[in-house]
Amino acid sequence: METWDAIRARRNVRQYTDQPISRDDLEKILDAGRRAPSAGNWQPWNFVVVSDRDQLVELAKVWQAAGHVARSAATIAIVAKEPEDARRRDLLEYDLGQATANIMLEAADLGIGSGHSAVSDQEQARRVLDMPDGYLCMYLIALGYPVDRPLRPLVRPDRRPLDEVVHWDRW
Ligand SMILES: Cc1cc2nc3c(=O)[nH]c(=O)nc-3n(C[C@H](O)[C@H](O)[C@H](O)COP(=O)(O)O)c2cc1C
């Protein structure tokens, strides 16, 4: 897929077929995340890839809107060192957002659906992922082939119109 097509085709996919994701494709998706830019190139991310069904079911309990994780072919848990202060926290959120976008766009490029999830219950995440002390599971990205229809560029995305969002030269 062209980048422009992948950008337009990505959408949150929360129902997945039984088709597994190949190791090659998973590695491409993870490499896309690794290549994201970050403040001072600090690369705060770690990716824990879960594909065992029992573990996915347990991982889905970390947040009330994480049900799709249990049904995914694989889920990437984005784990980072607990930030030292508010400034680092802001940078962390920004940079993890960039890694997430890379991951989701590469997945879309491969025809693989993806769905975000926030994380609330850190103790549950720690139990499932076996994270070291001082690390947090910040977000989950569930992956799998879409049940409803293949990823294709959306003609009418659910977005504010471009001319409402964009200001040229001045607000
Ligand atoms: C920071 C962040 C957290 C999100 N958390 C969840 C979540 O916990 N569960 C979920 O189903 N979707 C979650 N989403 C997905 C958004 O609801 C979704 O991206 C938005 O509604 C736009 O839909 P689209 O991605 O299909 O274009 C999250 C998205 C972001 C950016």
Please write the tens of the pLDDT for every residue from 100-138: 999 999 999 999 999 999 999 999 999 999 999 999 999
Mean pLDDT, residues 142-159? 97
Instruction: pLDDT band for 49, please (50, 70, 90 cuts).
Output: very high
pLDDT number for residue 6: 98
Mean pLDDT, residues 154-163? 97
pLDDT in tens, 56-87: 999 999 999 999 999 999 999 999 999 999 99
Ligand 1 centroid from CA 40, angstroms: 27
Per-residue pLDDT at 1 exceeds 80: no
pLDDT in tens, 20-34: 999 999 999 999 999
Ligand 1 centroid from CA 117, angstroms: 7
pTM of the model: 0.97
Can you tell me the distance from the alpha carbon of 135 to that of 82, in angstroms, rounded to the nearest whole number? 5
Per-residue pLDDT at 149 exceeds 80: yes
pLDDT number for residue 113: 98
Nearest residue (by CA) to ligand 1, atom 22, is 12
Ligand 1 pocket (Cβ < 6 Å) reads 11-12, 14, 63, 65-66, 115-118
